Structure 1
């Protein structure tokens, strides 16, 4: 916890999908785990097929804790034993090290207001060993506000088109933060309105689209520089020009994360 807290202080000193269950990289380019060593793949066990498959992503907080989306640790057939993590590999389903989940702590507000509070701290069964391909993420201090129109980056193994296939290799894409009030107003125009809260970050290429996280990217990172400012949460389809992708902002939950990842 002490190391994680120092990361938040360092940032402060240096700074002047269709449903929430659609684990949501479109318009991406191939990248490597060496560039994004804090991302890990989440694999889930299917009780129907008896096999493991990559379903979400997470971000290394400490050697024993990762940060992801709460909806990756919920649902009708969810059980903690059906989740494991693959760290240190650029390739989906292959390489790196695999560690099982021991316990997931979804934020207490999750499920009370749409996708608000869609964030989870997960404890691993054993410790990760840091290396050039496994490193902890820096997170922002509590209450850090991200300006509009800043370039931010998604990385993940999710679908490369809406309703398409997952990527076999790690991809990245750069998009831009979008004004929260504007984003919220747009989502209210859907036939079934969706609520965008102040605890969320909207990002995309507004009125153009073409770049976004997609199915399989949920819980994965939204980076501002080298700092993890968001975890992929939900959206209306993928890479939609009118409705930007939505990530859970990390900074409203920093104090909770620090108190949980101990």
Structure 2
């Protein structure tokens, strides 16, 4: 049996072991889930479907924004509105960007069309960001002007710094590829619901290909595949019950069976975010 197969089957064994002894009723500090809720979608296995996701309306994901360099369609990133002037994204999206070319588009589900476009006045990269491992992959963007909140533009809540991270359901949104074989970004925002995968299982599945650190967590359907973040979704929000629990960072392999999506935990840097942005409320 190959090393890949051994990692996969051992990972499944760990999943079963963890699931048997896990108290799901106490693991989500952000919601009142006693079981998978349909507040952010249908959590049946058939619809745990942004690769493999469903079309989304901006009203349901009004915190989601497009980040790109002006006059180029070569690369896009996403972000989440956290106040009327600040957006959070992945550090690797903006760490080398020319701030004068960056724009943030909010209030639309259509890629590069509609909504409101803002220039950027400030970029802040976490001091512990490692571009090789993408550890501490957190970046903040301050827009020129301010968002006008309404049905299509609103802020997502930050998690409390002391919140306990658990195995609650996730919602990931983005304009990324909808399959690993796609050659163009989705023209309309899509969303996918994913379960959390324990870090120990995620590391076993990746082996030496990726290092899953304490600032990261993984999500995906390891028994079925086909659902997950994909190219173009990086920097985008990962939400549970309207609280921002993660940022799409790496492992954007479109739901590949052996390569779950990897996200950066937001609760480990809530105090850092608050110190820079002045945001005082959390979910």
- The answer to whether the 8 A contact 1:53-1:93 is kept is no
For the 8 Å contact 2:235–2:247, the answer to whether it is kept is yes
Asked if 1:125 is matched to 2:144, the reply is yes
Alignment of 1:103-122 (within 5 A): 103-111=122-130, 114-122=133-141
Note closer, same or farther for the CA distance 1:211–1:72 as it changes in structure 2 (3 Å cut).
same
Q: Within 5 Å, give how 1:180-191 maps onto structure 2.
A: 180-187=199-206, 189-190=207-208
Query: Which blocks of at least 5 consecutive residues in structure 1 are unaligned?
Result: 1-10, 17-24
Is the 1:54–1:92 contact (alpha carbons within 8 Å) kept by the matching residues of 2? Answer: no
CA 1:91 to 1:255, structure 2 compared with 1: closer, same or farther past 3 Å?
Answer: same
The 2-side partners of 1:218 and 1:112 are apart by 14
Highest RCO, 1 vs 2 (Cα 8 Å, sep ≥ 6):
1
TM-score, scaled relative to structure 2 = 0.78
Q: CA RMSD in A?
A: 2.0
| Cα distance in 2, alignment partners of residues 105 and 151 from structure 1 | 29
Larger radius of gyration: 2
Structure 2 counterpart SS, 1:34: helix
Deviation for aligned residue 1:147: 2.0
Name the structure with the higher helix share.
2
SS of 2:217's partner is strand
For residue 111 of structure 1, give the secondary structure of its aligned residue in structure 2.
coil
- Residue matched to 2:119: 100
Q: Which residue of 2 aligns with 1:195?
A: 211
What's the secondary structure of 2:61's corresponding residue? coil
CA distance in 1: counterparts of 2:186 and 2:132, whole angstroms = 32
TM-score of the pair, normalised by structure 1 = 0.84
Alpha-carbon distance in structure 1 between the residues aligned to 2:141 and 2:150: 20
